[in-house]
Amino acid sequence: MMRQWYRAGLVCAAMGLGYVAASPACAAPSIRVLLASDVQRLEAGAERIMWVSDDRGRSRSYRTTLRIEVRGQALLLNGSRVVGEQVTLRAGERDLKLWLPRQTGNSNGAPSKTGQEKVVLQVSGVVQLVRRGTGLMVVNHVDLEEYVKGVVPSEVSSSWHPEMLKAQAVAARTYALYQHMLSLSRDYDVAASIQDQVYRGRHGVDERVEQAVESTRGLVVTYQNAPIYAAFSSTAAGLTEDATVVWSKDLPYLKGVECPFDLASPYYQWKTSFKLETLEKNLRQLGFDVGTIATLTPLSFSRSGRVATLRLLHSKGELILRGEELRKAIGYTVVPSTQFTIDSFGEEVVMSGYGAGHAVGLCQWGAKELAELGYSYASILLYYYPGTELRNASLTQAPPIPPVIPAPAS
C-alpha cells in the first residue's frame, strides 16, 4: 500500500496537482490508529446505516446500535456468534460512533483493567475489531488529514494562535507518516494516547482546526528527504532535550535548542510528592528486581540540566535508573518532567521542578509564544527541528531506522 500511495503522489506532483487533488489516486494514506486494546465489549452505531463485514467478506447492515462482545472463545454481534477473528465497521461517507469502556491507567500510564464508565468516540473512516487473546483490539483506519484534525485539538487548545495550530498540524502529520512508513509489520501505526499522539476523533474539531490542517495539507518536516520523528511536548522550561538522553536515539534534528518562550505555561514550575512504597511496587511491575529502597539520588545530568540517571540503593543492591524510567514508574502526570530536584526523602518523596513532558523537539507552549510574537509556523518548526526542511509528503522517502546509542554500563 505504501508503494502504491508513493507512486500516486509522484503522479500528482507531475500533474501539478500537489499532494491532494480531486482524483482518488492523489489521496493521502490511511493511518491505522489504535483506539483501545483488550476490550471485552463495546457498542457501535451510525447516523443512518452501518455495514459490518467479517473476515470472510460477508456483510450485514444495521440501523440500530450494535453490541459487540467477546465471550469465551466467541465473538458476538447482538448476541449472535460471528465466524472468524475480526469484523470491520463502515458507515459510508458518514461517521461511526463508538461507545468504549474507559480504560483506566495504572500509575505508569499504561492501560490496565477497563471500568464501567464509557467513552464516546465519533470517527471517520473504517473501524476494525480484531480478537487478541481474551479481548478486542479496536483500530480506526482513517485518512491522514482527518487523523491530523483529530490530533490538533486533543494536543493543544484550538483557541491558540493560527500559526501555532499550523505548526502542530504539520508536526502531527509528520509523526504519523513517519510511524506509518516504519510500521508495516505491526497491527497499527499509532496509538490514540500519549504513547504516540492524543487522538479523540471528531471531538474538538472546529473551523480553526480545519483551517490549520487544510492550509498545511500534505506538508511534513523532513531530513534528507524523509519524514522526521517529529517529537513534541508541552513545556521545555529552558533548553529542549537531545533524543539521545531520553530514548538513546541519535537523531541530528532532535538536538537541544534554547526555549525561553514558555514562561506563561501553567506547567513551567511545579511541586509533587509520592509514596516510596508506590515507587517500589511500580518498579517491580516494570520488571526491576527492587527491594526496600534506602536512597534515591540524581547521578548524572544532561546538557540541558535534566536528570539523566538516578542511583537507587535498595535491600537487594543498586539500581541505576534513567530519569524517564522514574517518570514512567511514578506516572507522567505525577512527575511532569526530569528537570527536578529531590527536596526530601523518606516514606514520602517530595520533588520540585520545571517543565512538562520529555522536552524533545517542538515545545508547544514555546511555539504558542513564538506564534504570538509574529513567527510563521514554518520558522517555528525549523527552529525546533534544526537542519530540517518542509516538503510535500508525496515527494518523501521512507526514513531509516534511527541508530540506538548503547546504554552505559551501570
- The enclosing H or E element of 175 equals helix 162-182
pLDDT at residue 21 greater than cutoff 50: no
Structure-derived torsion over alpha carbons of residues 170, 173, 174, 176, reported in degrees to the nearest 10 = 160
- pLDDT band with cut points at 50, 70 and 90 for residue 407: very low
pLDDT, tens only, 244-298: 999 999 999 999 999 999 999 999 999 999 999 999 999 999 999 999 999 999 9
Question: pTM to 2 decimals?
Answer: 0.88
The SS3 assignment for 386 reads coil
- State the first-to-last Cα distance of the chain, in angstroms, to the nearest integer: 44
Q: How many whole angstroms separate alpha carbon 177 and alpha carbon 144?
A: 8
Secondary structure (3-state) at 163: helix
Is 27's pLDDT higher than 60?
Answer: no
Picking from 248, 171, 179, the residue whose alpha carbon sits closest to that of residue 398 is: 179
Q: How confident is the model at residue 18 (pLDDT cuts 50, 70, 90)?
A: very low
Name the more confident of 131 and 402: 131
How do strand 30-39 and strand 190-191 relate by DSSP bridges? parallel
- pLDDT tens per residue, range 300-321: 999 999 999 999 999 999 999 9
* Amino acid at position 66, single letter: L
The C-alpha cell that represents 79 in the structure block = 448476541
Kindly tell me the number of DSSP H helices and DSSP E strands found in the chain. 9, 24
Q: Compute the distance between CA of residue 231 and CA of residue 209 in angstroms, rounded to an integer.
A: 20
Number of CB atoms found within 10 A of residue 300's CB? 14
Average pLDDT, the chain: 89
The arithmetic mean of pLDDT across residues 376-387, rounded, is 98
CA distance 212 to 169: 7
Question: CA–CA separation, 161 vs 51, rounded Å?
Answer: 40
Distance CA 188, CA 174 (A): 16
Residue reference for cell 492524543: 198
